[in-house]
C-alpha cells in the first residue's frame, strides 16, 4: 500500500468506530435500513480521504445504498470498508464495485452470526440469569443485566472493527474459517435452553383449584398432578406455545392473543389460577 | 404528577434514541433495566423493579428489531405500564397485562418513524450529490432526536399523566372474577417468552437440556443461580467434547 498524504490516522479509525457504534442504527428506514447511518459514520473519514469534491460525492453516494447488518459483529465490515476506501483514495484504485460488493456480500453472513450470538443467545441468557433476583426487587441485578452483556459485547465490536481495518478484505474470511463461531453458538445454545427450563419452572405460574367432589370425600386435582409430574401445567403451557410457534411459524401475535383469551376465560371461570 | 409524566416521556424519548449499539439497544429493549430509572422518577424503585422483572419475563425471547422489523415496543410497554401500575396501586401481574397492548401499539409509531427515516435518507441523497458530508451527519444525528419528539416524548407524557385515573376507574367497574382472570394471564404470559427463546435458539437436538433445567428446579428446588452453575458446566463440557459440531449423529 503506497503511503500518501491523506492516510487515516489511528485516531480516525477509533472515531469512525465510535460513530459506527453509537449511531448507525438510529435512522433505520423502511427503504434502505441502515444506509443513512453507515454514510454518516464513514463520512468524516471519507472527507479526509477524498480532497477532490467529485470523488467525495461518489463515495457518499455509494455508502447511501441499502445496508443492513448486525452492527457489533458487522463492525468488521465497517473496518474493512474503511481500509478499502483508504486503499482506493491513496492510489491503489479499488474499483467501486468491489467496495459495494464487499459490503453487500458480507452484511448477510455477519448479521446472521451477530444476531445469533449477541441478540438471540447471549442477550436472553444474561437477562435470564439476572431475572430471578430482579423479581425480588434487586436493582443490582437490573444493572448487571445491562453491563454483563454490554461491556463484553462492546469489546468484541471494537476488536472486530479494528481487525477489519487491519486485514481489509481478508478479515471476514479469517473469522469465518476459524470455527470458533460454531463453538460459541453451541455452548451458548445449551446454556440458553437449560436456563429456559429453569425459568419456566420458576416463573410460569399456573395451577388448578378444581376438585372432584363425591359423597365420600373431596379430591383436589393439583396434588394429584404434582405426584405424576411436578409442574405439569406450566410445562404443558410452555411446550404448547412452543409447539404452536413451531407449527405455524413465528405467529407471535396470535399466540399472545390466544394466551390472553385462554387465561382470561379459564381464570374467570375458576378452572385455573 | 405532570413533572413525573414529563420525565417518563423524556426517558422514553432517550430510549428510542438508543445511543450505542451494544448499550442503548440493549437497555431500551430490557424492561428490567429501565425499571429502576422509572422507579426513581415515580418514587418507588423496588415496586418498579419487581414489575419490570415480570414484564421482562414475557418479552424474554422476543428479539425486536432484527432486520429492522420491530414487532413489539418493549420500551413503550415498560414506560407506560410501570408508572400507571405504581400510581394506580396494581399488582405486578396486572402491570404485565397492562404492558402488552401498549407494546403492540408501539409498532405503529415505530413504523411511522421508519417512513420518516426514509424521507431523511432521500434528503441525504441530495446532500450527497452536492458532496455535503456535514449535512448528511446533521440529517442523521439531529433527525433522530427531532423525529422522536412527536412520536415518543409527547404521547407518553400525556398517557402517563392521564392514565392512572382511567385504569383505576376501569378496574373498579369490572367484576372481581375477571380481574382475577387478568392476573392469571400475567402468570401465563412468561410461557410465551420462554417458548420464543427456545425457538430463536433453534437447536432442537439440545432440547433435552431444557427438560433437564425444568426438572432440576422442580425436583431439587435449587435456586436459579445454583442451577445456572450446572448449566454453565454442562455447556463447557459439551463444547470441549464435541467442539463446534451441530449434528449429534456424527459422534
Contact A43 B246 (CB under 8 A): no
What share of chain B has pLDDT > 70, as a percent? Answer: 92
Comparing CB atoms, the residue among A22, A120, A189 nearest residue B19 is A22
For residue A272, list chain B residues with Cβ-Cβ distance below 8 A: 184
Q: Which three cell numbers stand for residue B72?
A: 413489539
Q: Mind telling me how many Å the CA of B122 is from chain A's nearest CA? A: 9
Among the partner-chain residues A71, A135, A198, the one whose CB lies closest to the CB of B53 is A135
Cβ(A257)–Cβ(B192) below 8 Å: no
pLDDT for residue A153 is more than 90: yes
Q: What is the pLDDT of residue B57?
A: 85
**B82 contact partners, CB below 8 Å, separation of at least 6:** B31, B35, B38, B39, B42, B48, B51, B52, B55, B95
Please return the burial class of A121, using the count of CB atoms within 10 Å of its CB with bins 0-12, 13-18 and 19+: buried
How far, in Å, CA of A9 to CA of A87, rounded?
Answer: 14
**Cα(B155)–Cα(A48) distance, rounded to whole angstroms?**
42
The more confidently predicted of residues B227 and A251 is B227
Q: How is B184-235 classified by DSSP, letter by letter?
A: HHHHHTHHHHHHHHHHHH--GGGHHHHHHHHHHHHHH---HHHHHHHHHHHH
For residues A212 and A150, the model is more confident at: A150
Centre a 10 Å sphere on the Cβ of residue B48 and count the other Cβ atoms it contains. Answer: 31
Whether B118 and A31 lie within 8 Å, measured CB to CB: yes
- CB B111, CB B70: distance < 8 Å: yes
pLDDT of residue A2 exceeding 50, the answer is no
B142 in the same domain as B43: yes
Calculate the average pLDDT of chain B. Answer: 84
> What are phi and psi for residue A29, nearest 5 degrees?
-95, 160
Q: What is the mean pLDDT of chain A?
A: 83
- Check residue A223 and give its pLDDT: 81
Predicted local distance difference test score (pLDDT) of residue B251:
34
| Cβ within 8 Å of residue B63, ≥6 positions away | A115, A119, A120, A123, A124, B29, B200
Question: Which candidate from B100, B117, B243 shows the least CB-CB separation from A27?
Answer: B117
pLDDT greater than 90 at residue B164? no
Using a CB-CB distance cutoff of 8 angstroms, which residues of chain A are in contact with residue B178? 264, 268
Residues B23 and B63 in one domain: yes
Same domain, B106 and B207: no
Q: Which residues contact A211 (CB under 8 A, 6 or more apart)?
A: A218, A219, A220, A221
**Contact across the interface for A127 and B227, Cβ inside 8 Å:** no
> B147 and B66: one domain?
yes
Q: Cell triple for residue B22?
A: 451494544
CB pair distance less than 8 Å for A132 and B45: no
- Pick the closest to residue B75 from B107, B44, B115 (CA basis): B107
Q: How many domains does chain B have?
A: 2
CA of B48 vs chain A CAs: smallest distance (Å): 8
| Structure letter (DSSP) for residue A179 | S
What is the percent of chain A with per-residue pLDDT over 90, rounded to a whole number?
19
C-alpha cell at A162: 479494528
Contact B185 A154 (CB under 8 A): no
pLDDT of residue A137: 87
| pLDDT at residue B69, as a whole number | 59
Subunit contact B140:A136, Cβ cutoff 8 A: no
Query: pLDDT tens for residues A10-66?
Result: 999 999 999 999 988 888 877 788 889 999 999 999 998 898 888 899 899 889 888
Q: Is the pLDDT confidence value at B249 over 70?
A: no
Return the C-alpha cell found at A230. Answer: 411436578
* Closest CA in chain B for residue A266: B181
Can you give the three-state secondary structure of B35-89, one letter per residue? HHHHHHHHCCHHHHHHHHHHHHHHHCCCCCCHHHCCCCCHHHHHHHHHHHHHHHC
Q: Do residues B57 and B174 share a domain?
A: yes
Q: Who among A27, A47, A273 is closest to B184 (CB)? A: A273
Query: Chain A residue closest to B179 (CA)?
Result: A268
Q: Range of B211's domain?
A: 203-251
Checking if the pLDDT of B31 tops 80, the result is yes
Query: A142 and B52 in contact by Cβ < 8 A?
Result: yes
Q: Check whether residue B156 and residue B58 sit in a common domain.
A: yes
Q: How far apart are CA B215 and CA A145, in angstroms?
A: 25
Q: What are A72's three cell numbers? A: 457489533
Residue of B nearest to A24 (CA): B21
Q: Which of A5-19, A136-150, A179-193 has the lowest mean pLDDT?
A: A179-193
- Please name the residue of chain B whose CA is at the shortest distance from the CA of residue A57: B131
* Nearest CB neighbour to A119, from listed B66, B121, B209: B66
| Contact across the interface for A194 and B192, Cβ inside 8 Å | no
* Each residue's pLDDT tens digit, A109-118: 788 788 878 8
Q: Which of A21-35, A87-101, A221-235, B14-28 has the lowest mean pLDDT?
A: A87-101
Residue A129's pLDDT is 85
Of the candidates B121, B141, B206, the beta carbon closest to that of A29 is on B121
- Same domain (yes/no): B74, B17: yes
Contact between A122 and A188 (Cβ < 8 Å): yes
Enter the C-alpha cell of residue B159: 398517557
Q: CA–CA separation, A162 vs A57, rounded Å? A: 26
CB contact under 8 A, B217 and A234: no
Q: What is the DSSP string of A212-254?
A: EE-SS-EEEHHHHHHHHSTTHHHHHHHHHHHHHHHHH-S-HHH
Judge: B206–A135 Cβ closer than 8 Å, yes or no: no
- List CB contacts (< 8 A) between A135 and chain B: 50, 53-54
Best mutation target among A44, A202, A227, A253 (most B Cβ atoms within 10 Å) is A202
Tell whether the model's pLDDT for residue A150 goes beyond 90: yes
B102 close to B76: Cβ distance less than 8 angstroms: yes
Please check whether residue A267 is in contact with residue B181, taking contact to mean a CB–CB distance below 8 angstroms. Answer: yes
- Quick one: average pLDDT of A132-145? 88
Interchain pair B36, A143: CB under 8 A? yes
pLDDT for residue A3: 42
Q: Using CB atoms, which residue from A194, A231, A245 is nearest to B234?
A: A194
Q: Which residue has the cell 473469522?
A: A175
Q: Are A48 and A82 in contact (CB under 8 A)?
A: no
Residues B249 and B176 in one domain: no
Partner residue opposite A134 with nearest CB, options B32, B100, B212: B32
Place of cell 382470561: A264
CA–CA separation, A125 and A38 (whole Å): 29
Cβ(B144)–Cβ(A27) under 8 Å? yes
Q: Is the dihedral of CA A64, A66, A70, A74 positive or negative?
A: negative
Q: Which residue of B has its CA nearest to A39?
A: B136
Least confident of A74-88, A155-169, B147-161, B229-243: B229-243
B31-48 average pLDDT score:
92
pLDDT of residue B102: 85
Task: Say yes or no for a CB contact (<8 Å) between B184 and A146.
Answer: no
Identify which has the larger pLDDT, A241 or B224.
A241
B172 and B208 belong to one structural domain: no
Same-domain pairing of B89 and B208 = no
Task: Specify whether the CB–CB gap between B98 and B90 falls below 8 A.
Answer: yes
Q: What is the pLDDT of residue B79?
A: 93
A70-84, B65-79, B222-236: range with highest mean pLDDT: A70-84
Confidence of residue A161 (pLDDT cuts 50, 70, 90): very high
B134-158 b/e with 16+ CB inside 10 Å = b? ebbbebbbebbeebbeebbbebbbe
> Could you give the CA distance from residue B24 to residue A39 in angstroms, rounded to a whole number?
20
State yes or no: pLDDT of A1 exceeds 70.
no
Which chain B residues are closer than 8 Å to A249 by Cβ? Answer: none
Q: Does residue B30 have a pLDDT over 70?
A: yes
Clarify whether residues B46 and B143 are in a common domain.
yes
- Nearest chain A alpha carbon to B114: A29
Q: From the CA of A143, how many Å to the nearest CA of chain B? A: 6
Residue B60 and residue B30: Cα distance in Å, rounded?
A: 9
Q: Which residue has the cell 458480507?
A: A106
| Calpha distance B81→B83 (Å, rounded) | 6
pLDDT computed for residue A115 by the predictor: 82
- Cross-strand pairs, A67: A33
* pLDDT tens digits for range A193-210: 888 888 888 778 888 888
- Which one is predicted more confidently, B32 or A250? B32
User: B233 and B189, same structural domain?
Assistant: no
| B16 close to B148: Cβ distance less than 8 angstroms | yes
Residues of B in Cβ contact (< 8 Å) with A28: 65, 68, 114, 117
Size of interface A-B (CB pairs under 8 A): 389
Report the percentage of chain A scoring pLDDT > 70. 92
User: Given this model, what pLDDT does residue B186 score?
Assistant: 74
Nearest to B60 among A34, A124, A197 (CB): A124
Three cell numbers, residue A201: 419452572
Amino acid at each position: 500500500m503506497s503511503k500518501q498524504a491523506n492516510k487515516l490516522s489511528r485516531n480516525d479509525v477509533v472515531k469512525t468506530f465510535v460513530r459506527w457504534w453509537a449511531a448507525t442504527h438510529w435512522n433505520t428506514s423502511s427503504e434502505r435500513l441502515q444506509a443513512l447511518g453507515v454514510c454518516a459514520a464513514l463520512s468524516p473519514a471519507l472527507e479526509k480521504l477524498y480532497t477532490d469534491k467529485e470523488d467525495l460525492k461518489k463515495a457518499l453516494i455509494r455508502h447511501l445504498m441499502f445496508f443492513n447488518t448486525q452492527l457489533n459483529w458487522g463492525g468488521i465490515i465497517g473496518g474493512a470498508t474503511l481500509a478499502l476506501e483508504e486503499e482506493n483514495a491513496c492510489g491503489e484504485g479499488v474499483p467501486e464495485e468491489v467496495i459495494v460488493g464487499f459490503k453487500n456480500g458480507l452484511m448477510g453472513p455477519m448479521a446472521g452470526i451477530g444476531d445469533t450470538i449477541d441478540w438471540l443467545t447471549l442477550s436472553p441468557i444474561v437477562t435470564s440469569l439476572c431475572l430471578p433476583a430482579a423479581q425480588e426487587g434487586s436493582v443490582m441485578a437490573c444493572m448487571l443485566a445491562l453491563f454483563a452483556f454490554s461491556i463484553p459485547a462492546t469489546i468484541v465490536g471494537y476488536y472486530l472493527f479494528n481487525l477489519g481495518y487491519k486485514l481489509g478484505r481478508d478479515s471476514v474470511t479469517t473469522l469465518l474459517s476459524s470455527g470458533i463461531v460454531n463453538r460459541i453458538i453451541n455452548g451458548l445454545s445449551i446454556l440458553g435452553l437449560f436456563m429456559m427450563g429453569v425459568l419456566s419452572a420458576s416463573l410460569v405460574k399456573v395451577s388448578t383449584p378444581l376438585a372432584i367432589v363425591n359423597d365420600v370425600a373431596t379430591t383436589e386435582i393439583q396434588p394429584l398432578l404434582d405426584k405424576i409430574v411436578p409442574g405439569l401445567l406450566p410445562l404443558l403451557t410452555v411446550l404448547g406455545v412452543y409447539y404452536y410457534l413451531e407449527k405455524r411459524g413465528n405467529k407471535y401475535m396470535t399466540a399472545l392473543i390466544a394466551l390472553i383469551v385462554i387465561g382470561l376465560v379459564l381464570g374467570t371461570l375458576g378452572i385455573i389460577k | 404528577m405532570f413533572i413525573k409524566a414529563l420525565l417518563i416521556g423524556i426517558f422514553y424519548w432517550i430510549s428510542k434514541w438508543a445511543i450505542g449499539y451494544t448499550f442503548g439497544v440493549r437497555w431500551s429493549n430490557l424492561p428490567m433495566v429501565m425499571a429502576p430509572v422509572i422507579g426513581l422518577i415515580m418514587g418507588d424503585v423496588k415496586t418498579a423493579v419487581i414489575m419490570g422483572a415480570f414484564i421482562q419475563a414475557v418479552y424474554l425471547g422476543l428479539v425486536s428489531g432484527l432486520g429492522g422489523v420491530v414487532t413489539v415496543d418493549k420500551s413503550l410497554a415498560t414506560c407506560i405500564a410501570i408508572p400507571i401500575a405504581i400510581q394506580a396501586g396494581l399488582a405486578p401481574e396486572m402491570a404485565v397485562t397492562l404492558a402488552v397492548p401498549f407494546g403492540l401499539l408501539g409498532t405503529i409509531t415505530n413504523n411511522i418513524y421508519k417512513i420518516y427515516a426514509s424521507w431523511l435518507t432521500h434528503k441525504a441523497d441530495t446532500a450527497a450529490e452536492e458532496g455535503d458530508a456535514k449535512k448528511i451527519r446533521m440529517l442523521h444525528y439531529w433527525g433522530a432526536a427531532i423525529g422522536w419528539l412527536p412520536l415518543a416524548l409527547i404521547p407518553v407524557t400525556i398517557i402517563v399523566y392521564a392514565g392512572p385515573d382511567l385504569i383505576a376507574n376501569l378496574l373498579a367497574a369490572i367484576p372481581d372474577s375477571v380481574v382475577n382472570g387478568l392476573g392469571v394471564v400475567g402468570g401465563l404470559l412468561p410461557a410465551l417468552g420462554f417458548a420464543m427463546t427456545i425457538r430463536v435458539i433453534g437447536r432442537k437436538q439440545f432440547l433435552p437440556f431444557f427438560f433437564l433445567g425444568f426438572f432440576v428446579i422442580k425436583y431439587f428446588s435449587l435456586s436459579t443461580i445454583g442451577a445456572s452453575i450446572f448449566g454453565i458446566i454442562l455447556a463447557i463440557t459439551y463444547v470441549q467434547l464435541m467442539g463446534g459440531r451441530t449434528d449429534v449423529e456424527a459422534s
